[in-house]
Amino acid sequence: MDAFKLLTRSTKLKPAATQFSTLPSTGKAENPQLFRNSAADAFSNGKGHGKKRKRVHGADEAHAVNDDALNLDFFSQNKGSASRSSHAVAEKQNAVSADQGEYEDSEGDESMDEVQRRTVLNAHKIKVTDMRDFEEVYPVQVPSEEPKKKKKKRKQREEQQQTPTLSKKEQKKARQLYPQPLVSFKELRAKYKISSRLAENIAEQGFTVPTEVQLGSLPLLLGDRALSEKLDSSSTIEPDLLVVAPTGSGKTLSFMIPVINKIVRHHHDQTDERGIFSVVIAPTKELASQIVNEARKLALGTGVKITLMKKGMRVVEREDEAEDNILDENNSESESESEEKATSKQKGEIPVTKSDILVSTPLMLVNSLSANKTRPLATLPLVRNLVLDEADVLLDPLFSDQTLDIWRSCTHPELRASLWSATMGSSIEDMAKTTIKERKNFLPDTKSYPLIRLVVGLKDSAIPNIKHKLVYAATEQGKLLGLRQLLHPTAATPSDVRLRPPFLVFTQTIPRAIALHSELLYDIPPEAGGSSRIAVLHSDLSDSQRSEIMKGFRKGEIWILVTTDLLARGVDFRGINGVVNYDIPNTPAVYVHRVGRTGRAGREGGIAVTYYTKEDIPYVKSIANIIDVSEKLRGESGERSVQKWLLDALPDLSKKHKKDLKKHGVKARQSGTKGATDEKDRRRMRISTKSGFERKMENKKKGAIAASRRVTQPGATTKSNGGSDDDNDWDGIED
């Protein structure tokens, strides 16, 4: 008889894995759409308002294909047998439809009317707004000044006007647009006639059901007929676009498909003109590299070349370089001058990069256009599309001058600009409108295009498919203890949040990231990989080091990555189980972007843990409000992470303190403070588990070692109380 079975026959043992029932790394996203209901599904399937869509042969089979497509995890690189079978059935169905000339798309003769479009867009929480000045769009609505005697004539004219003077509420309603939504990626080829090779690349990657931002933005950028009719245009219009969509919702795909398709068409129309036609700007090298990788998958076989901007790369041919070379030959030079100019000639001999799409950070591209700020800014005359990814950061004071210089250097009259981010304040929108108006004054040939804003969900809010946890840790030691409980979830109580690696840990400064990494270095046992499972990533590391750490984290070799806000924006890690805010973010927008590293593409199970101490209490309310709104948007009943009494108790922050926090972070954690009080705060903010006595003994030991080294060095001397350098010579006590 087995003694273990006998002793445990009345005990129900549960495997440890059941404690983590929902993990983004293990499960697939059933649907990438964050907002969806039965009304949207009804119109997407052609059942709205009692209208029946035409069916090709094998309607039951096609219906099965659509049902399977909704369950595809098209953000995953590993496609299962079900995915392949569904894709095969879809290809077979499309082939039959094409042969019989009965290929059906959602537009055709039965495109959605305005009521249907409005229903679908509202169901997916998509709001499209005309951002132009109201007087510019509706000039007849401004009443002209007339004498009071001509009241009858004025009334007659007002009756003849198509649109009378509107109130602010009516103007806001009149600005709302309802473009045709993209129900399926198959419509890109059938309705918008994109490149066949581009459509094949999209299908090969498994993209079938568009996310909300793709559902709304792709028709706008590919030329929507409904929008053109609304704007009284005889031809399709590609507008300037402002997009605010949740993190991980597929914004990269939304702006790269139209850009690549436009260049493919241009190559077919004008094969002799080659150059940089599109520029994509990203705030960090990691995000720029990610955009290039995703874009190359879409552009495979299309002939479109995508290049990542690197140091020393030349992107334009400058006219003043040839003039300098002629002057150098005619003028006499000294040896030093000739060496400098020989070096500059060698730099000038670097060939101009031949590319269609250039992806770069702002500073790197500006340095290339201005020859490291030694020459006037060169122009990019062929650029027709300028994409600003994470636009709120690019137009922030840190990058705004560089970004606007790039925008002004794009001198093509048909330039379209698109700005994308998960958070975008009104100041960014005003700056975009002002820049577009300045271009018209500076470049008279610039054509006018409507400026459209598309917002998915609630503006500047966190994604609703992740769980938030706000934890009061009191002190730095409390935060360290809480983080160690996340690393060892078996030691936590059932009520505590449990998080399994891989996950990201964000700190306020680089020194704090390094210190936290050193403290956690030996928390993972050697049997599980030890210190190799934890890494730190920040901007002080070299490009090669950052690249290696990113590769290790993506491969799963690194489980815990301690970093700063360098990775807070745009970078897509598939399978991140959670995010830990070891230090609270400087702004609510930073919190939205940090926690957006998990729960990508609609995946459930992501967890965001934020620790705060006594020093953080004045700055917590804005983050608590975001968590509260996100949980309300999620719509789940039960206990919330942020109670009402906590929201009422937390203090409000003044504008001045908000500005200081955004610029410097929490003052106690700043690395450059001085003074007795600040020094005490810095000791209290130190990331360490060592006691003051241990540190005192270590400092004494270090001082003794340093003193012995000075004595043992040859020729070393000591000074004491202003004595001479030679200890053997003593002149006695001075009078």
More confident of the two residues 547 and 717? 547
Q: Half-sphere exposure (CA, 13 Å, Cβ side) for 196? A: 1
* Topology, domain 466-684: Rossmann fold (3.40.50)
Give me the mean pLDDT over the 85-103 stretch. Answer: 42
DSSP state of 619: G
Q: Domain segments of the chain: what residues?
A: 116-141+166-318+352-456, 466-684
**pLDDT tens, 508-525?**
999 999 999 999 988 888
The kind and range of the H/E element at 198 are helix 196-204
Domain 116-141+166-318+352-456, CATH: 3.40.50.300
**pLDDT tens, 473-488?**
988 889 998 898 888 7
User: Which residues are within 8 A (CB) of 373 and not within 5 positions of it... i.e. 6 or more apart?
Assistant: 366, 367
Residue-averaged pLDDT of the chain: 77
Q: Which of 60-74, 375-389, 581-595, 699-713 has the lowest mean pLDDT?
A: 60-74
Give me the mean pLDDT over the 86-99 stretch. Answer: 43
**pLDDT tens, 555-603?**
999 999 999 999 988 888 878 889 999 999 999 999 999 999 998 877 8
Same fold yes or no, 116-141+166-318+352-456 and 466-684? yes
Give me the mean pLDDT over the 280-288 stretch. Answer: 94
**pLDDT tens, 293-343?**
999 999 999 999 999 999 888 888 876 655 555 444 455 445 555 554 444
Q: Which of 43-47, 383-387, 521-525 has the lowest mean pLDDT?
A: 43-47
Residue 153, burial from CB neighbour count under 10 angstroms (0-12, 13-18, 19+)? exposed
Quick one: which of 623, 550, 603, 498 has its CA closest to 247?
603
Please report which confidence band the pLDDT of residue 132 belongs to, taking 50, 70 and 90 as the band edges. Answer: confident
At residue 196, the pLDDT reads 93
Give me the mean pLDDT over the 249-257 stretch. Answer: 93
**pLDDT tens, 593-629?**
999 999 887 788 789 999 999 989 999 999 999 998 8
Please report which confidence band the pLDDT of residue 156 belongs to, taking 50, 70 and 90 as the band edges. Answer: low
Q: How far apart are CA 93 and CA 677, in angstroms?
A: 74
User: Which residues are within 8 A (CB) of 191 and not within 5 positions of it... i.e. 6 or more apart?
Assistant: 105, 106, 107
Q: Which of 314-323, 500-509, 544-553, 626-635 has the lowest mean pLDDT?
A: 314-323
